Structure 1
Amino acid sequence: MLKLALRSFAHHRAAAIATGLVALVGTILVTGMMSLLGTGLAASTAAADRAFLVQFPLIMGGWTVAIVLFAMVSTVGVALGGRAGEIAGLRLIGATPRQVQGMLVVETTAITAVTALPGLAGGYLLGWVISRSMHAAGLTGAASVFAPGAALPLLGVLVVLAASVLAAWIGSRSLARRSPVADAAPPSRSRTGRRPGLGRRVAATLMICAGLASSATVLGMDPADVLTTAMTGPACVLVAVGLCLLAPELVLAANRALAVLRPAHRAAPLHLAALNLSAAPDRVRPTVTFLTLFVGVAAGTLSMQGVENAAGTGGSTGEVLASINYFVVALIAAFMAIALTNNLVASITRRRAEFAVMSLVGSTGGQTHGMLVREIGVATAVSTVAGSVGAFVTVLPFAVVKTGDPLQAAAPLPYAITIAIGAGVTLGVSALVGRRVIRTA
């Protein structure tokens, strides 16, 4: 099975690069936060700086680990989705579902292990840069030098490695257990009589409720307490992840809403896009998943910092801390943008055979490209709306406690910046990659 996994790895370089890039950036972010935490716990750190150097990486690191785990699961799931035929072939020649899952876990673990060393080095560098910025701004004293140690950064590497194993196991479970001679379309009901996706919807509901509960607890806290940020930040992540899990339902709702607005006689690209969204909403599911996560987390955290600024957390310390927060949020947003791009490329490339069939039945390249852009446009619209609503709802209690003005949570600049970047990346990558794939198909 190990030899088969290594051979399969060699034939799926594009998917391996996509997974490896997500694992690399995730390792850098996680180990960077761990190196700061190690510095805060070091014996040489001044007692006056210890609380800040422990609280800051714990808050930011918690968000980062949750985002990296979800991104790994989604990326591996998309990469494996394009290998259904290969996996069915393995099942036909006698491979058991557990053997198939084991092969895919070995592949993903090997990819993540390759990125571990450069990711660890990048994490040390990231932690050192943030530590120097804190020292230069006067947030930490001269005695509190960067001393990450080895144990905590290595633990960060192991966390990402464990996330990759879990992602491969979860992402390959349904694919490996599917009958190789069964219809590829998902059944309307499972063997137990339950509708497929019930567990996913329950998990999404629990995450959204947990996020809203975490956000609401801020209403009973002191505005100056750092726990207000510690409770609101994870709330943004939980609500965004919960909305991501509801991606198929979001696409279906958007398509039904568009059905009311569509003209009776519409152009071929719009007609084809409408048919695709109705028949196979999972084709744009990766886009909805990552763009909703991007908008929800980035807009929520930027809005939180805007509320902090409006609350008058003034002085040079407050300004520098805001700069560091913006820097870390920018890194997390860049990570999610990379994951979004990888998944867009993978999901569009998987549709090469579909585009070839459309060309054979008379669709022009322009019509097929227009269909793809309109599909992604609907996914972008529903993602930005869902992510923005999730960010606003979670930041609302934070704004009330900090400023007494709930409208501070709706300040337009964080949402406008986030939506512009997310929509620009999504539509730009889709247009460029789609044009190339359609032309070669």
Structure 2
Amino acid sequence: MTALAWRSLRTRPAAFLATALSVLLGTAVLLAFLTLLETGLADDVSAIDRETLVTMAGVVGGWAVVIVVFSVASMLGLGVRRRAEEFALLRTLGSTRAQVRRLVLGEAVALAVLATAAGVVPGWLLGRGVLALVREAGMVAPDVGHRIGALSLGSALGAMLLSAVLAGLLAARAATRGSAQDGLTASRGRRGRMGRWRIAGGLVLLAAGANYSVLALVVADPDQPYEVMSMAGPASVFWSVGLAVFAPVLLRVTAAVVAPVARRLSSGAPVHLALAHARRRSHDLGGVLSPVLVLVGAGTGTLYLMQIENLTATRPDDVEADAIELLNYLVVGMITVFAAIMVVNGTVAAIADRRREFAQQRLAGATRSELTATVSIEALVLLVAALVFGGLASLGTVVPFSVAKTDGWLSGSGPGWFLGVAAVALVVTVGTAALGTRRATAGPALRPQLG
């Protein structure tokens, strides 16, 4: 099975590109902030600079671990679901569950090794760039040099390889659940159910988010503003990732709720097909919904946290306050860029898997414009789910921080930042879906069928 895993990687590079890209980017993000940690722990760095760099690496790096590991696991799971029929056929030909699981795990490990190695140089460059930004902001001394060594390399590569192995194990179990005939039926119907481990993981993440929200409300000292911020800040990240674990369920609920309104606005075939696909393909589309939800929830929560902090700050020239502000904007930037790339990545992969479906629909009479409209409406349903549940997740940060700082639930929190995040999510989600569909349906309809 190890040899088969390597042949699968060599002969199907496009199928593994989305997962490889997520691992590469995850490695780069983790390594960048771990190099800040290694830089801060150097002997020739002052105590003040060490505290700044270690805090930045710990806070941003900790949030990055949660988001990156979840994204890698989601992409691996999406890739396995796309190949459910292939694995079911292997089992009907005599392969055992253990052999199929070794195949999936071998592919995940091989892919992770290659992608993490490719992410070292981007991570080193990103770390240098972040440190340069920190130096220009006056947060550390100008002579602090960037360092990369065994600590940062070992931690980043180890974390990504471990997450890939764990995700591969879970994906392998999902690929061999039930009988081979059940696998063939599920692959044709694109239906699936959430495993116990996934449900348990989602509940743990939601519990962590609730814990941070409660700590910010009742434990953190209001006279220590950065203590409140350190408690409230991670809350929206954990709430967002926890809800994203249940993305297939949230998508089905959203499709059922918006269906009556959508059908009143238009009774055409694209609306009908889009709503049906949102329910029937909820597990596949959930892989796209997850990063959008994280983008909306964590990004909105952090932006409003900074708005409330800026409105209530009493020490505008405080170097520590400037450091915290820069730290939070780095978090928002990291979440936005990484989540946007994951949205594009997942959307392109999901659309590429539907070329045969598009060809069959075109042979049945559907036009390219109708198919593009159908997929765009699917993306809109997905976006509604992300805005609703991501907005709820952001309240895990906004409400406790607002109460701690102003005694009000949403003090000074207008809709501006949320609308801005929604606009970014709209462009990335619907724009990628429309362009990807036009590209997937280019050329004769028979070409995907015969290829």
1:164 corresponds to: 164
Partner Cα separation in structure 1 for residue 132 and residue 274 of structure 2: 51
What is the SS of the residue equivalent to 2:264? coil
Percent identity of equivalent pairs: 32
CA contact (8 A) 1:211 1:235 kept: yes
Counterpart among 344, 364, 389 of residue 392 in structure 2: 389
1:296 corresponds to: 297
How far residue 203 of structure 1 moved from its aligned partner, in angstroms, is 3.9
CA contact (8 A) 1:45 1:145 kept: no
1:4 corresponds to: 4
CA change 1:283–1:50 in 2 (3 A) is closer
CA contact (8 A) 1:235 1:394 kept: yes
Partner Cα separation in structure 2 for residue 51 and residue 110 of structure 1: 37
How far residue 183 of structure 1 moved from its aligned partner, in angstroms, is 5.7
- Flag structure 1 segments of 5+ consecutive residues without an equivalent: 188-194
Query: Any idea what the Cα deviations from partners look like across 1:248-289, whole Å, max 9, x if unmatched?
Result: 222222222223322397112112223333444334222222
CA contact (8 A) 1:37 1:148 kept: no
2:99 corresponds to: 99
Letter in 1 for 2:364: V
CA contact (8 A) 1:46 1:143 kept: no
Partner Cα separation in structure 1 for residue 242 and residue 231 of structure 2: 17
Letter in 2 for 1:238: F
Counting only pairs closer than 5 Å after superposition, residues 130-141 of structure 1 correspond to structure 2 as: 130-141=130-141
Partner Cα separation in structure 2 for residue 129 and residue 310 of structure 1: 29
Partner Cα separation in structure 2 for residue 183 and residue 137 of structure 1: 56
- Flag structure 2 segments of 5+ consecutive residues without an equivalent: 188-192, 446-451
1:352 corresponds to: 355
2:190 corresponds to: none
The TM-score normalised by the length of structure 2 is: 0.89
Letter in 2 for 1:214: Y
What is the SS of the residue equivalent to 2:180? coil
Partner Cα separation in structure 1 for residue 234 and residue 264 of structure 2: 43
Q: CA RMSD in A?
A: 2.4
2:256 corresponds to: 256
Query: Any idea what the Cα deviations from partners look like across 1:67-88, whole Å, max 9, x if unmatched?
Result: 1100000011112222122212
User: How many positions carry a matched residue from both structures?
Assistant: 434
How far residue 185 of structure 1 moved from its aligned partner, in angstroms, is 4.7
2:207 corresponds to: 209
Partner Cα separation in structure 1 for residue 25 and residue 186 of structure 2: 34
2:429 corresponds to: 426
Query: Any idea what the Cα deviations from partners look like across 1:166-218, whole Å, max 9, x if unmatched?
Result: 1222123211334222364559xxxxxxx865654454344223312211211
1:191 corresponds to: none
More moved, 388-397 vs 315-324: 315-324
**Match status 1:338 vs 2:341:** yes
1:26 corresponds to: 26
1:413 corresponds to: 416
CA contact (8 A) 1:35 1:124 kept: yes
Letter in 2 for 1:208: L
**Match status 1:59 vs 2:59:** yes
Query: Any idea what the Cα deviations from partners look like across 1:322-342, whole Å, max 9, x if unmatched?
Result: 234323421232111111111
CA change 1:316–1:217 in 2 (3 A) is closer
More moved, 367-376 vs 54-63: 367-376
CA change 1:198–1:168 in 2 (3 A) is closer
1:17 corresponds to: 17
Partner Cα separation in structure 1 for residue 345 and residue 300 of structure 2: 21
**Match status 1:372 vs 2:375:** yes
Query: Any idea what the Cα deviations from partners look like across 1:371-408, whole Å, max 9, x if unmatched?
Result: 22111111111111110121023321012212333324
User: Where in structure 1 do 4 or more consecutive aligned residues deviate above 6 Å?
Assistant: none
Partner Cα separation in structure 1 for residue 406 and residue 194 of structure 2: 44
Partner Cα separation in structure 1 for residue 234 and residue 437 of structure 2: 35
1:192 corresponds to: none
How far residue 32 of structure 1 moved from its aligned partner, in angstroms, is 1.1
CA contact (8 A) 2:78 2:284 kept: no
CA contact (8 A) 1:32 1:153 kept: no
How far residue 321 of structure 1 moved from its aligned partner, in angstroms, is 4.4
Letter in 2 for 1:212: A
CA contact (8 A) 2:254 2:385 kept: yes
CA contact (8 A) 1:215 1:395 kept: no
Partner Cα separation in structure 1 for residue 242 and residue 107 of structure 2: 28
Partner Cα separation in structure 1 for residue 185 and residue 33 of structure 2: 43
Letter in 2 for 1:211: G
How far residue 148 of structure 1 moved from its aligned partner, in angstroms, is 4.3
CA change 1:196–1:32 in 2 (3 A) is closer
CA change 1:265–1:434 in 2 (3 A) is closer
Partner Cα separation in structure 2 for residue 2 and residue 260 of structure 1: 50
Partner Cα separation in structure 2 for residue 3 and residue 322 of structure 1: 50
